[in-house]
Structure 1
Amino acid sequence: MRLAALIGAVVSTLALSVTAANATPSRGVTGTIISKTTFGGKDYIVREITLDPGGSTGWHYHRGTLFALVRAGTLTHTESDCTSTDVYPKGSAFTEPSGTDHVHIGRNLGKKPVVLEVLYVLPAGSPLSDDAPNPGCDFD
């Protein structure tokens, strides 16, 4: 019985390690939490995010809904099908739905920083995002 539990733990650890090894880390991204409150089993977090020129969020998804406003620059947002790309210039607002079927990446292809003001509505205690491997796109 103990051997089966040990084998299960090792297999689980290896599976998690493979996922983490395939993740695409962000680069040139900084974020500051402006406010956070929890109500009704959900975290409401306001965060300012800056992507430097050439910066990328890395491939990821969210466990809840994200609402964003582009304060400066232009964000290029690509879905995991590698062809659905939206471009959000200064003043644009957009929503990112939750779940593993909504893996995406945000990139700054411009010469000025992209500044986002973001509201995360997440299940209480969830991370802001979960890393995901590149789905096969020929960038990042």
Structure 2
Amino acid sequence: MKRTLSFFLSILTVALLSGCQTCCQRKCATSPFAQYDNITAVQKLELKRTSESWDGTALPDYLKGKPELVVMRYIFPVGSKLPWHHHPVINYGILQQGELTIVGLDGQRQVVHAGEAIVEMVGPIHCGMNTGDKPIVLDMFYLTQKGTPLAVQHPEIQKPME
């Protein structure tokens, strides 16, 4: 009886450990961005908007008024393109996943790969497109003021994004 119980507990322990190992492997193999793999339209998620630092201290004045910091996450499906636009405010970010190609009206291009930082143009009109084989996940940080748009669209420009 004692031998049977010991054998049964050994089998149960091995089964539990195997299940745990399989579970851990599954979690490690899953990308934190896998939830975006099947999207069909560009999405944007506002991650943070504040006029205070992490400890609650008000940020100092920027230009002529109070600063507003905005953090955005943009998700672009494979093959998608953003319309022509410009940014009236300083912005920068990190490409978390994918390959982003930025094209200026003058034809100048910049290709950004996953893990690379990007500092966007302030003023000049440009567009962006997903030229990779995965959805883009792009986190952008904007230093702006309340009421100022993060981007201004230019639908009047019909130039193809090459």
TM-score (norm. length: structure 1): 0.71
- What is the correspondence of 1:1-140 to structure 2 with a 5 Å cutoff? 28-38=41-51, 39=59, 40=61, 41-81=66-106, 83-99=107-123, 102-133=124-155, 135=157, 137-139=159-161
Residue ranges of structure 2 left out of the alignment (5+ in a row) = 1-39, 52-58
Identity fraction in percent: 26
- What is residue 4 of structure 1 aligned with on the other side? none
Structure ID, larger Rg: 2
Structure of greater relative contact order (alpha carbons < 8 Å, 6+ residues apart): 1
**8 Å Cα contact 1:63-1:123 kept in structure 2:** no
Residue ranges of structure 1 left out of the alignment (5+ in a row) = 1-26
**8 Å Cα contact 2:77-2:135 kept in structure 1:** yes
Distance 1:76 1:134, change over 3 A: farther
**8 Å Cα contact 2:103-2:161 kept in structure 1:** no
d(CA) in 1 for partners of 2:72, 2:161: 26
The count of aligned residue pairs is 111
d(CA) in 2 for partners of 1:76, 1:29: 15
TM-score (norm. length: structure 2): 0.62
**8 Å Cα contact 2:127-2:161 kept in structure 1:** no
d(CA) in 2 for partners of 1:70, 1:130: 21
Compute the displacement of 1:134 (Å).
6.2
d(CA) in 1 for partners of 2:156, 2:105: 8
More strand by share: 1
